[in-house]
Structure 1
Amino acid sequence: MSDIASLFVTRLYRAKLSKHGKPVDATELADACLSVAEDDTAGQQWCADNTFPGYTSYASLTDLTWRMPIFKALKKSLDKHVASFADDLAFDLGDKKLKLEDLWINILPEGGIHTAHIHPHSVISGTTYVAMPKGTSAIKFEDPRLPMMMAAPARLKNAHEALRQFIYVQPDVGDVLLWESWLRHEVPMNTAEEDRISISFNYA
């Protein structure tokens, strides 16, 4: 009898935002995101200068939790989700807690993509989903060992999820996804006519 273990597991946390804290109304949150995007001329200019599709507040605003009460309420809920995930990851934080470093809005129009990237200098990163029109993009995660698989054959299409080289996760409105910040991820092209709206964040 063979003994085969799974080593060095990559964890992905998924839960409803409402699991921790007071429910945040998705319509109100979407309206707040669109309002910020409309007023953020610096963010609009950054997106234009960097040929970034749609809008992100990543390079322009660092005070969303102070601008509107709904973002402050969102932070309180996310703090609890991140603490729960940190426990699952068995992080030895002593008497410290992971704290929110930044929180930003993403509005991805039809045809827009977010290319593959990681989040340096952070511990846990994640996204909560505000508007996910029918047919919009999933989020794609890459096996972090991929650069070292020089001679590895392709995996079977029906391979167990834990053995695949890429995983696509289709979130629903109100979902929170969390992962360790070194995990490479991307958003493939949005093929829906409506905007795909999400809010991303880093904790360290």
Structure 2
Amino acid sequence: MDQQMMNLFAVPVCRAQLGRSFSESEQAFFREALQQPVAAISNFSSQDKHVLNALPMQQIKAMIETQLAAYMDTVFKTSNDVRLKITQSWLTLSGKDQSHHIHTHPNSVVSGVLYIYLAQRDGINFYRNEDQLWFELMREQETYYNAKHYFIQAEPGDLLLFPSHIRHGVPPVQEDIQRVSLSFNTFFSGKLGRDEFSNALNIEVS
């Protein structure tokens, strides 16, 4: 008898590409925003937590909003008048031997990262939720079904969108570079639920 493996309830991670180099005005903004970064747990971030509102970032913001709309349509496919609106956005700076700790993004539906300056082999790790795993088996070989984490390699200009509750992180930078990325959170803005079911909720994210 043949065996058929089926994967249920996939985690929707989207990759898109800016499709061009960063402009001089965009690069100047990155440098200025990171002149006096604030310390994070294992690297640094910009003081400004709304960088996508800056004038030099408007083309990038428009591209991200287009991709968020496509993600919303593909993943949620809703008839509600609701969209994903960017709530906060910031730059992250990591130098040699610095990393980005494993974390999630509370108070966000979909999070994203746009890669600006990277090492040769760079990207992001996503981690399986093992909080409710009640057994331990030694892995003879890592497969799609048993792997504890997945690494997605990225290039400058890559944009990744993913559910905010998924644990993720970046290993220590091995090269003597300044690694820069732009991260953001989103939340539903519009109407959720249905009046006739007494669960309607209108949210306006400013």
Structure-2-length-normalised TM-score? 0.80
Once residues 109 and 176 of structure 1 are traced to their aligned partners in structure 2, the CA distance between those partners, rounded to angstroms, is 21
- Correspondence for 2:133: 149
Helix, strand or coil at the partner of 2:61: helix
Structure 1's 130 and 77: CA in aligned 2 closer, same or farther, altered over 3 A?
A: same
2:48 matched to 1:61?
A: yes
Helix, strand or coil at the partner of 1:169: strand
Structure 1's 14 and 82: CA in aligned 2 closer, same or farther, altered over 3 A?
A: same
Specify the code of the residue in structure 2 equivalent to 1:29: E
Once residues 34 and 93 of structure 1 are traced to their aligned partners in structure 2, the CA distance between those partners, rounded to angstroms, is 42
Specify the code of the residue in structure 2 equivalent to 1:140: N
- Correspondence for 2:197: none
2:51 matched to 1:32?
A: no
Match runs of 1:166-177 below 5 Å:
166-177=149-160
Instruction: Count matched residues.
Output: 186
Moved more, 172-181 or 83-92: 83-92
Gaps of 5+ in 1: none
2:74 matched to 1:88?
A: yes
Helix, strand or coil at the partner of 2:33: helix
Is the contact made by 1:56 and 1:104 (CA closer than 8 Å) also made in structure 2? yes
Q: Deviations over 1:122-153 (max 9, x none)?
A: 00001010011324x43110013x12222142
Helix, strand or coil at the partner of 2:151: strand
Q: Per-residue deviation at 1:37?
A: 1.2
Q: Deviations over 1:60-84 (max 9, x none)?
A: 32342343x2212211110111111
Match runs of 1:108-147 below 5 Å:
108-135=94-121, 137-144=122-129, 146-147=130-131
Is the contact made by 1:101 and 1:203 (CA closer than 8 Å) also made in structure 2? yes
Instruction: Give the % identical residues.
Output: 22
Is the contact made by 1:56 and 1:106 (CA closer than 8 Å) also made in structure 2? yes
CA RMSD of aligned residues (A): 2.2
Q: Which has the larger radius of gyration?
A: 2
Specify the code of the residue in structure 1 equivalent to 2:172: M
Structure 1's 108 and 30: CA in aligned 2 closer, same or farther, altered over 3 A?
A: farther
Once residues 51 and 168 of structure 1 are traced to their aligned partners in structure 2, the CA distance between those partners, rounded to angstroms, is 21
Specify the code of the residue in structure 1 equivalent to 2:125: K
Once residues 24 and 66 of structure 1 are traced to their aligned partners in structure 2, the CA distance between those partners, rounded to angstroms, is 20
Specify the code of the residue in structure 1 equivalent to 2:177: E
Write 1 or 2 for the structure with the bigger share of strand. 2
Gaps of 5+ in 2: 188-206
Structure 1's 143 and 110: CA in aligned 2 closer, same or farther, altered over 3 A?
A: same
Q: Spell out structure 1 runs of 4+ moving beyond 6 A.
A: none
Structure 1's 189 and 116: CA in aligned 2 closer, same or farther, altered over 3 A?
A: same
Helix, strand or coil at the partner of 2:102: strand
